[in-house]
Amino acid sequence: MTTTSSTTLRTAHIKAILGNELHSRLPSTKILLVGAGGIGCELLKNVVLTGFGDVTLLDLDTIDLSNLNRQFLFRKKDVKQSKAFVAAKTANQFNPSVRINPIHANIKDPQFDVAWFRSFDIVLNALDNLDARRHVNRMCLAANIPLVESGTAGYLGQVQPILKDRTECFDCLPKPVPKSFPVCTIRSTPSQPIHCIVWAKSYLLPQLFGEDENGGNELDEAEKQGENEQEIATLRKEAQAFTLVRKALRNSQPSANGKMNGNSHASGSADAARLAFDKVFSSDIKNLLSMADMWAHRAPPTPLDFDKIADGSFVLPGATGSKAQSAQTNGKHVNGNGSQTSAPEASSSSSLKDQKELSLQESLVLFVSSTHRLAARLQAGEDTISFDKDDDDTLDFVTAASNLRSAAYGIAGKSRWEIKEMAGNIIPAIATTNAIVAGIIVLQALQVLKKEYSGLRNVHIQRKAEVPLSACSVGPPSKNCAVCRDTYAEFLCDPARVTLSQFINGILGEGDGDGTGERDVSVYEAGRILSDPDFDDNLERTLESLNVSRGKFLNIVDEDGEWGTISVAIGQLPPNHSHDEPAFILPSPLPLPPKIQKPTVIEPPSTPPRKRSADEVEVLNGRPAKRPRVNDAPEVNMASPSKKRRLEEDGLLILENPNEVVDDEPELIAID
């Protein structure tokens, strides 16, 4: 049946509507899809149906059971397989003539450099994290390739076409800063469940099962910030004592089946679970208590007692028989309190058993059993274990440890279900929103390819029954955007044979004040400063020794703020590049950054202060007419992405759209 005429017929509709010219171009249009998850699956389907013929699909993830409620190209049998490969295979079955090239890798890997991005005609983002979205935005700007950006969270979604110098880029609009907590709040004075969850996930778990480090950097930093010195000294001692527990976790003899259970004799990991418990929930807390002035004005924590919790005789101070506190008393099923009283959500379905709150005793059992399981994995050869919301062992461990800590501090406990959401940055996700978004992405991509720029729209899917979709024309780039207002260039080199000064001198060239030529500059790589006029130690070091490699950017910032920032992408020398020639190829022409107009008067903000309603609730009303700009003053890109990433991992929900913050629900805490 695959005759020419039937193929013609099959594509007749789409051809009539796209026009012959565009339609005939689609089979040879090279398209990059970044992400094969919720949006990605939908997108791949649409791209194939629309008639694109050359698709590269990249995703670093493997398939998890919780993907199957929306990522429809995957089946149960595909769990743990590469998303990119399975998606490509499933989609190809529908139309074998489409070339789909799946890549199972991280988009931030060095081989995906600017030259690689430049090999595509258009890039479509279907990512779920801010960091990767920012990265692709930047790569597309550097490669001057159009990008259609997207994101979803529950019922909300957005699509944004991005064309260099023509539209706003992803970073032109402010992104909410993920919530972070002072280190002492996490380590010694928690007051909310989230503090204990962050402690268990980002401190205790890495301390016991992660790489061997004492978390000293964080404390050095805190010390610089002027936090309580005595407190920090105690915390430092506390960190060092982990060495003992780490040893115990790793040095026991694995039992025959590699698993620890209650019946295996005196195993080292059982020791270790007890050791860990006594250290963090008893002696560490006692140490903190010894600093009397810390607790002069705060409710002091209560050290926990392993044996008493185990035999049910442990009672927390203030834990009376009241209903609201039953979660903090010992063992609900011991004192006969029905467990369903604390889990209203679970009452309608018994299958949701992880929605119930754990008693102290249950937390202890879970702490011991999850520590056993994790220790067994270390002994079976895993180097380090880090938190993964879909890894039951780590989730159980964080659930147990955070609830125990909460109990010690008199903070309400949380169910495993809630902890998963809070610790795992879980954003609700459904098929419908992804389908809507993916449909719009391709429609916007077609406008881009047709060069019908007047048809470009920033689209938001909102939770309003009256206007499900809000579309607005795309705005021009923000004139102070620290990302898209940079002047981009590419520097092909062998980083092992090029020094930083060769790089700087090469890029600046020998010009005479038109933006080229020698001048005082600082050089940054992702927030690290590599050199400035008063810091020349690195100038004669090779780029390689400075950990600057293919796929990274070096930013050259004018010291006097007279010239725009030059953002130089590091690329690879062509294979035929002779070894006798210099180990780099300069961009031609050299980048010419714009002259910065020195502001004479600082203008007051043009937007009048917004009147707030009595209830302080922002209402989703399309998009605010005026949005604050990220960078209202010329500013060096100083923020350290690595720090930011760490915060994102620790933080709560990361919302992409400022409007999304309105959803108050995660903050509502009810004693049930």
Q: Which residues participate in catalysis according to the annotation?
A: 184
Q: Does the protein bind other proteins through residue 300 (CB under 8 A)?
A: no
Say how far apart CA 215 and CA 212 lie, in whole Å. 9
Q: Does 287 bind other proteins (CB under 8 A)?
A: no
Tell which one of 84, 140, 435, 557 touches other proteins (CB under 8 A): 435
Minimum distance of other proteins from residue 517's CB (angstroms)? 47
Is 33 among the residues that bind other proteins (CB under 8 A)? no
Question: What is the nearest approach in angstroms of other proteins to the Cβ of residue 310?
Answer: 4
Q: Which tokens is 115 given?
A: 């030259």
Instruction: To the nearest 10°, report the CA torsion of 428, 434, 437, 441.
Output: 130
Q: Which residues contact 615 (CB under 8 A, 6 or more apart)?
A: none
Is 1 an interacting residue with respect to other proteins (CB under 8 A)?
yes
CA 232 to each of CA 207, 227, 288, 441: distance values in angstroms, whole numbers, following the listed order: 17, 7, 11, 50
Give which of 318, 241, 227 is closest to 275, Cα–Cα.
241
Paired tokens of 655: 């919302």
Binding mask 590-609 for other proteins (x = CB under 8 A): --------------------
> CB under 8 A: which stretch of 11-19, 208-216, 584-592, 597-605 binds other proteins?
11-19
**Residue 463 is a binding residue for other proteins (CB under 8 A):** yes
Q: How far is the CB of 391 from other proteins (least distance, A)?
A: 11
**166-179: b (≥16 Cβ within 10 Å) or e:** ebbbbbbbebeebe
x-or-dash string of contact with other proteins, 189-218, rule CB under 8 A: --xx--------------------------
R_g (Cα) of the chain, nearest Å: 28
Minimum Å gap between C-beta 301 and other proteins is 10
CA–CA separation, 133 vs 30, rounded Å? Answer: 20
Q: How far is the CB of 144 from other proteins (least distance, A)?
A: 25
Tell whether residue 423 is among the known ligand binding residues: no
| Rounded-to-integer distance, Cα 360 and Cα 319, Å | 12
Q: Footprint of other proteins on residues 236-275 (CB under 8 A)?
A: 262-263, 265-267, 270-271, 273-274
For position 310 contacting other proteins by CB under 8 A, the verdict is yes
188 vs 301: CA distance, rounded Å: 9
Q: Give exposure, 126-163, as e/b (b: 16+ Cβ within 10 Å).
A: bbbbbebbbbbbbbbbbbebbbbbbbbbebbbbbbbbb
CB 592 within 8 A of CB 565: no
Would you count residue 155 as binding other proteins (CB under 8 A)?
yes
520 annotated binding-site participant: no
Is 92 annotated to bind a ligand? Reply is no
Out of 168, 171, 362, 558, the residue judged to bind other proteins by CB under 8 A = 362
Give 46 or 531: the residue with its C-beta nearer to other proteins. 46
Does residue 87 bind other proteins (CB under 8 A)?
Answer: no
Q: Say how many residues make up the chain.
A: 672
Q: Which of 601, 602, 619, 625 binds other proteins (CB under 8 A)?
A: 619
Among 298, 595, 626, 643, which residue interacts with other proteins (rule: CB under 8 A)? 298
- Please list every residue from 384 through 403 that binds other proteins, using CB under 8 A: 392, 396, 399
CB of 415 to other proteins, least distance (A): 8
With contact defined as beta carbons under 8 Å apart, do 441 and 148 qualify? Answer: yes
Stretch that binds other proteins, among 7-15, 28-36, 125-133, 550-558 (CB under 8 A): 7-15
Report yes or no: 201 and 398 within 8 Å, Cβ to Cβ.
yes
| Tokens coding 4 | 């020419």
Candidate ranges 437-445, 476-484, 494-502, 579-587; the one touching other proteins (CB under 8 A): 437-445
Least distance between other proteins and beta carbon 136 (Å): 22
C-beta pairs of 5-14 under 8 Å, 24+ apart in sequence: 11/51, 14/49, 14/50, 14/51
Question: Which CB sits closer to other proteins, 272 or 590?
Answer: 272
Nearest to other proteins of 27, 216 (CB atom): 27
36 is an annotated ligand-binding site residue:
yes
Cβ distance to other proteins smaller for residue 80 or 297: 297
Say if residue 68 carries a ligand binding annotation. yes
Sheet holding 30-34, edge to edge: 99-103, 54-58, 30-34, 122-125, 147-153, 156-162, 457-461, 469-473
Contact 14, 23 (CB under 8 A): yes
Q: Which of 105, 241, 352, 539 is in the footprint of other proteins by CB under 8 A?
A: 352
Q: Cis before residue 589, ω within 30 degrees of 0?
A: yes
Q: How far is the CB of 623 from other proteins (least distance, A)?
A: 14
- β-bridge partners, 157: 152, 461
Ligand-binding annotation for 546, yes or no, is no
Q: Among residues 61, 121, 131, 354, which is the contact residue for other proteins, using CB under 8 A?
A: 354
Q: How many whole angstroms separate alpha carbon 282 and alpha carbon 302?
A: 8
Q: Is 128 a residue that touches other proteins (CB under 8 A)?
A: no
Q: What does DSSP assign to residue 296?
A: S
**Of 358, 401, 482, 492, which lies in the binding site for other proteins, with binding defined by CB under 8 A?**
358
Asked if residues 500 and 523 have their Cβ atoms less than 8 Å apart, the reply is: yes
Please state, in angstroms and rounded to a whole number, the distance separating the CA atoms of residues 302 and 74: 48
- Give how many residues touch other proteins by CB under 8 A: 131
129 is in an annotated binding site: yes
CB of 307 to other proteins, least distance (A): 6
Region of 54-62, 68-76, 491-499, 570-578 interacting with other proteins (CB under 8 A): 68-76
Q: Return the residues of window 493-552 that contact other proteins according to CB under 8 A.
A: none
Distances (CA, A) of 368 to 203, 259, 388: 18, 13, 19
Give least dist CB 671 to other proteins, A: 5
Binders of other proteins among 314-343, rule CB under 8 A? 322, 324, 333
Residue from 467, 496, 638, 661 binding other proteins (CB under 8 A): 467
Check whether 511 is labelled as a binding-site residue: no
616 binds other proteins (CB under 8 A): yes
Q: Which is nearer to other proteins, 268 or 591 (CB)?
A: 268
Q: Is 615 annotated as a binding residue?
A: no
How far apart, in Å, do the first and last CA atoms of the chain sit? 63
The CB-based long-range contact list for 76-85 (8 Å cut-off, 24+ gap) reads 83/36, 83/37, 83/40, 83/59, 84/36, 84/57, 84/58, 84/59
Stretch that binds other proteins, among 108-116, 217-225, 427-435, 641-649 (CB under 8 A): 427-435
The residue type found at 130 is L
Determine the Cα–Cα distance for residues 159 and 162; give it in Å rounded to an integer. 10
- Positions at the binding site for ATP: 35-40, 59, 67-70, 83, 128-133
Residues in binding site: 35-40, 59, 67-70, 83, 128-133, 169, 172, 481, 484
Task: Summarize the annotated binding site for Zn(2+) as residue ranges.
Answer: 169, 172, 481, 484
